[in-house]
Amino acid sequence: MLATSDGCIRGDTSHPANLGRLCSKGSALGETISLDGRLLSPRVHGIDSDWDSTLDLVARKFSEAVAEHGPDSVAFYVSGQLLTEDYYVANKLMKGFIGSANIDTNSRLCMASSVAGHRRAFGTDTVPGQYEDFESADLVVLVGSNLAWCHPVLFQRLSAAKEARPQMKVVLVDPRRTATASIADLHLSVRPDGDAALFNALLAEIARRGLIDTGFTAAHVDGLAEALTTAAASDPAESGLSRAEIDTFTDLFCGTEKVVTLYSQGVNQSAHGTDKVNAIINCHLATGRIGRDGMGPFSMTGQPNAMGGREVGGLANMLACHLDIENPDHRHAVQTFWSAPAMPEKPGLKAVDLFRACARGQIKALWIMSTNPAVSLPEADGVAEAIRNVPFTVVSDIVEDTDTNRLCDVLLPATGWGEKSGTVTNSERRISRQRPFLPKPGQARPDWDIISDVGRRMGWNAAFDYASEAEIFREYAALSGVAARFGRDFDISGLADLSDGDYDRLAPTTWPVPRDGAPRDRFFAEGGFYHPGGKARMLPITPPDPTAALPPAQVILNTGRVRDHWHTMTRTGRAPRLGAHLAEPYIEIHPEDAEAAGLSPADLAEVQSPHGRAVLRVMVTDRARPGSAFAPMHWTGVTSALGRVNTLVAPVTDPVSGQPASKGTAVSLTRYAAGWYGFAAGIAQMHPTRPYAAIARTRSGWRAEFAGHKRPASWEAEARTVLDIADGDASVVEDAARGLARVAITRDGQLIGAFFAAPVPVPVARSLVVDLIGQEIPAAVVLAGVPGADRPSKGAEVCACFGVGSEDIRAAIAGGCQSLAALGEKLGAGTNCGSCRPELQALIDQVGAQNPMAAE
C-alpha cells in the first residue's frame, strides 16, 4: 500500500499479494489518519503523564506482582495487529524474562483452531500452499468464509481467475447466503457446525470410489484406516444438507484433481473448530492433494499480522519460531539464545481462561496491547468486570476512547499504521515490510520500543537494548535458525544478516528462507511432515450431535463481519464513507424466525442469552438459514448503547485449541418495547445516550439512531440533547396525537441538525437527510422529510470507494447499464476494491426491488 503526495491511498502494483488492489477499508485509510481522537500522551488514571514516570510505574507494578505472587500472577494480552518485531519483544519479555507463559493474543479468537489442526495433522503450524493456488485450482471450496466482504482483494483475484477460466467451479459452505455466494456455482447452507459431517461424508465417498492416493498415504500418512472407519460411521444428514446437495458436492470434489479448500472463521470459531479443520485436511491428505499447484487446504488469516504472531510464539502454548513449550530441548535452546533467566515449563492461560483468572483475582497486573477485549471476547460484560478486578491494568492503543481503555489504569500511546516500521506475515507465509510515511504524533512510540523500555526498567538492560526494529528482526531471524536445527519449518535464518538498508528495502518474501539450501513455495507435495517419522496424521473425526431443536423464538446467534467495518471500529468508525453502508448494529433473521418472534423489518429486537442482552435492528431476509441469525461484531459502547454482541456470546471454547465458539450461542428474540424511535443527523459528535442508540460518522458530521421508552416532554429539548447542539434556530413540527415530531436546527441559514421521531421505526430517507446537513437549506424542506425535486436522494451507499448510492445505480441500470462493466464505466462503482460487486449485480438482477444489502 502506498500513500501518495496528494494524500490518496493507492495499492502497490508491485506487491505480489494484492498486485495493487485494495479493499474499501484500505482505500479509506486516508480518512482515518487524522489525529482527532488519538491518544497522544501516556495517561495514568485519566491524567496526562510523561513516559518516564509512567513506565517506571508499569515496571514497578509488574515487578512487585512477580516478587509477591510469582510470575504467573501477571499477564499480557496482545494482538495480531502488532508488527512481528513488537510481538517478538513482548513474547521474549514474558516467556524468557518474567518467566511465565501468560501471554496470549486475540489470535486465540481467530486462528487457534487452525494452528491446532495444522499441528495435529502436520506436526507444525504450516500453511502448505499460496494464493496463486486459488487462481490455478479447478475447484475452490470456501468453508465458513465471507471472502467478498472479508478478503475482497483475494475475492477479486478469484473472480478474475474464474472469469478467465470459466471451467473453474466455486462452492460456498456457509449457513448464510452471503455476498460471497455471488461467485459460487453451489451454495451449501450447512447447519451451524455441520461441516465435519459434510467432510466426513466426502472422505467416505472418496474411499468408496477408490480415489485414495494410496501411494501418497502409504508413504506419508498415518491414521488413514481409523479416519475412514469413523467417517464411514458418521451420518451425512447431520450436515443439515440434502442427499442431493451432498452428492453434487462430492461429485465435484471427487471429479476434480486441482482443489483448494479455503476456510476461515466459520470453521475456526467453533467448539469443534479443530475437528472441522482436521476433517477438511483429511480429505486433502487422503487424495494427496496438498502442496501442489492449485491444490491444498488453505486456512485464511484475518488480521494483518495474525501469521507473524503465530511465528513469534504469541500464543500461550507456543514458544518462538514454532518450537514447543513442553519440549525441554526446545526450551533450553531458546533460553540459551536469549540468555534468559527463566523459562516457563508449561503453557500459559489461553484468552478466555486468562480473563477468568482475572475475574478470580489470580492476575495482579495485566497489559493489553493493540486489542479491545471488552468488546471482542465472549461474555464481554464479564470480561469488562474481570479487567476492573485486576489491581493494575495497562493498555497500549492508538486511540483515546475505547471500551477497554475506559477500564484501565494506565494508557500508553502507540504509533499506528503509517507511522510504524516493521514486518508482517500474511496467510501465504509472505513477509512484507511496513514502512512509515508519517511522523510519530504527540508522544506516541512504537510498541516494541515501549515494551523494551519496560523490560529495561524491570532490570534486563542488555536483553532489551534494541536501537531499531531492524535489530529485533535480525535477532528473530537468527533464532529461527536455531529452531531449524530441530527440523522445524519456520526458518528465516537467511535474513539474519540483513543490514539496516537491506531491511528497509526488503521485498515481500515468502518463508522459509534458510541460510543454506533452497527456498521453496509450497510444503508437503513429497511428504516431509513434521511429526516424528516425517508422516502426516489423519484424525478420526466424530461430528458433534446436532443441536436439539430450539424452542420457538430462539435461534443460534452467528456473529461476524460487515463489508466496511474493521472489528471494534476504532479506525473505520472515523471514515465517513465506511459508515454509510451499514450504519447501525443489526440482526439478520429468516422470515420464519421473525414471525415466530413477532418481529417485523426495521423493528428493534431484544436479544438475550444467559450472559447478557443486546438490542439490534431487525433485518428479515431469506439469506439467513432458518434457526440461525447473524449479527455483526463491530459495535461497541463507544458507538452504540446496546449493540455489543459479545455480551451475548457464551464463553464456550474448543477443547483442543481454546478458541471461543463465537458463532454458536443460543439466544432468545423478542420485540424491544420502545415508546419512540428517532433518527438524527447533525454537525456535532453525538453520543449513544438513549436506551437504544447507535452513532456513525458522516461527511458532514454524525448520524444516529435512537429509541426510548417515555416520550420526552419537549421534542426540541430532546433533539438538542441528542444532537448536542445548543445554539441555532430550531423549527419544530409536531403531531402529538400520532406521536410524530420533526426538528430542524439552522444557523445562518445553514442546516446544522435534523431530528425525526415517531412511535414506529422512523421512515425517513436517511442518506438524503445526511446529505442536507451543512447545506443552506430552508428548514421546511427538512420538516417535509421528503427529497426535494431538485435534490434526488442518491440512496443507500453501495460503493464505499466512490460514494455511489443505490438510487444512482438504479437510475443508471434503468438507463441501460446492464452489466458490472457498464456500471463501472458510468459511475466508477465497483471498480476499486470490488467488494460491492455482488451488491451491484443484485441490483442489476432486480432493479426496482429493495436493495437487499443496505441498511435503509
Ligand X SMILES: Nc1nc2c(c(=O)[nH]1)N[C@H]1C(S)=C(S)[C@@H](COP(=O)(O)OP(=O)(O)OC[C@H]3O[C@@H](n4cnc5c(=O)[nH]c(N)nc54)[C@H](O)[C@@H]3O)O[C@H]1N2
Question: Which letter does DSSP use for residue 206 in this model?
Answer: H
User: In the bound complex, which residue of the shown chain has the CB atom lying closest to ligand X?
Assistant: 302
Stretch binding ligand X (CB under 6 A), from 199-207, 238-246, 645-653, 800-808: 645-653
Binding flag, residue 265, ligand X (CB under 6 A):
yes
> In terms of Cα–Cα distance, which of 131, 489, 168, 184 is closest to 301?
131
Interface with ligand X (CB under 6 A), residue from 420, 690, 720, 766: 420
3-state secondary structure string across 799-844: ECCCCEEHHHHHHHHHCCCCCHHHHHHHHCCCCCCCCCHHHHHHHH
User: Least separation, in Å, of the C-beta of 849 and ligand X?
Assistant: 23
Contact between 198 and 266 under an 8 Å Cβ cutoff? The reply is no
Binding flag, residue 584, ligand X (CB under 6 A):
no
Binding flag, residue 192, ligand X (CB under 6 A):
yes
User: Least separation, in Å, of the C-beta of 326 and ligand X?
Assistant: 26
Q: Phi first, then psi: give them for residue 280, nearest 5 degrees.
A: -70, -50
User: Least separation, in Å, of the C-beta of 628 and ligand X?
Assistant: 8
Binding flag, residue 665, ligand X (CB under 6 A):
no
Residue whose CB is less far from Mo ion, 156 or 376: 376
Binding flag, residue 155, ligand X (CB under 6 A):
no
- Name every residue whose Cβ is closer than 8 Å to that of residue 372 and which is 6 or more positions away in sequence: 397, 402, 403, 404, 567, 568, 570, 636
> In terms of Cα–Cα distance, which of 723, 676, 677, 730 is closest to 703?
723
Calpha distance 432→422 (Å, rounded): 8
Binding flag, residue 448, ligand X (CB under 6 A):
no
Stretch binding ligand X (CB under 6 A), from 291-299, 538-546, 642-650, 803-811: 642-650
Question: Which letter does DSSP use for residue 736 in this model?
Answer: T
Residue whose CB is less far from Mo ion, 302 or 422: 302
Radius of gyration of the chain (CA): 27
Stretch binding ligand X (CB under 6 A), from 343-351, 425-433, 555-563, 586-594: 555-563
Q: At 72, which helix (H) or strand (E)? A: none
Binding flag, residue 611, ligand X (CB under 6 A):
no
Interface with ligand X (CB under 6 A), residue from 567, 577, 720, 742: 567
User: Least separation, in Å, of the C-beta of 613 and Mo ion?
Assistant: 25
3-state secondary structure string across 561-593: CCCCCCCCCCCHHHCHHHHCCCCCCEEEECHHH
Calpha distance 390→368 (Å, rounded): 12
User: Least separation, in Å, of the C-beta of 389 and ligand X?
Assistant: 19
Name residue, grid cell 475475492.
155
Interface with ligand X (CB under 6 A), residue from 171, 286, 414, 477: 414
Among Mo ion, ligand X, none, partner that 195 touches (CB below 5 to 8 angstroms by kind): ligand X
Calpha distance 850→698 (Å, rounded): 23
- The strand pairing partners of 587, in sequence order, are 618
Calpha distance 645→379 (Å, rounded): 9
Stretch binding ligand X (CB under 6 A), from 144-152, 232-240, 427-435, 794-802: 144-152
Beta strand spans in 302-364 (E): none
User: Least separation, in Å, of the C-beta of 110 and Mo ion?
Assistant: 3
Interface with ligand X (CB under 6 A), residue from 559, 640, 668, 700: 559
Binding flag, residue 454, ligand X (CB under 6 A):
no
Binding flag, residue 176, ligand X (CB under 6 A):
yes
Helix 380-389 and helix 351-359, axial crossing angle in degrees, nearest 10 = 50
The residue ranges that bind Mo ion (CB under 5 A) are 110, 302
User: Least separation, in Å, of the C-beta of 44 and Mo ion?
Assistant: 31
Stretch binding ligand X (CB under 6 A), from 93-101, 370-378, 431-439, 712-720: 370-378
Among ligand X, Mo ion, none, partner that 399 touches (CB below 5 to 8 angstroms by kind): ligand X
Binding flag, residue 143, ligand X (CB under 6 A):
yes
Enter the C-alpha cell of residue 163. 472469469
Instruction: Indicate if the alpha-carbon torsion angle 343, 62, 308, 180 is positive or negative.
Output: positive
User: Least separation, in Å, of the C-beta of 520 and ligand X?
Assistant: 27
Calpha distance 330→326 (Å, rounded): 8
Name residue, grid cell 497489559.
367
Binding flag, residue 376, ligand X (CB under 6 A):
yes
User: Least separation, in Å, of the C-beta of 107 and Mo ion?
Assistant: 7
User: Least separation, in Å, of the C-beta of 517 and Mo ion?
Assistant: 33
Total residues at interface with ligand X (CB under 6 A): 61
Interface with ligand X (CB under 6 A), residue from 58, 110, 212, 541: 110
Calpha distance 119→212 (Å, rounded): 23
Binding flag, residue 617, ligand X (CB under 6 A):
no
Enter the C-alpha cell of residue 739. 406521536
Interface with ligand X (CB under 6 A), residue from 100, 200, 396, 609: 396
Q: Which residues bind ligand X (CB under 6 A)?
A: 79-81, 106, 109-110, 143-146, 149-150, 173-176, 178, 190, 192-193, 195, 264-266, 269-270, 302-303, 369-373, 375-376, 396-399, 402, 414, 416, 420, 447, 558-561, 563, 565-568, 570, 630, 633, 645-646, 649, 662-663
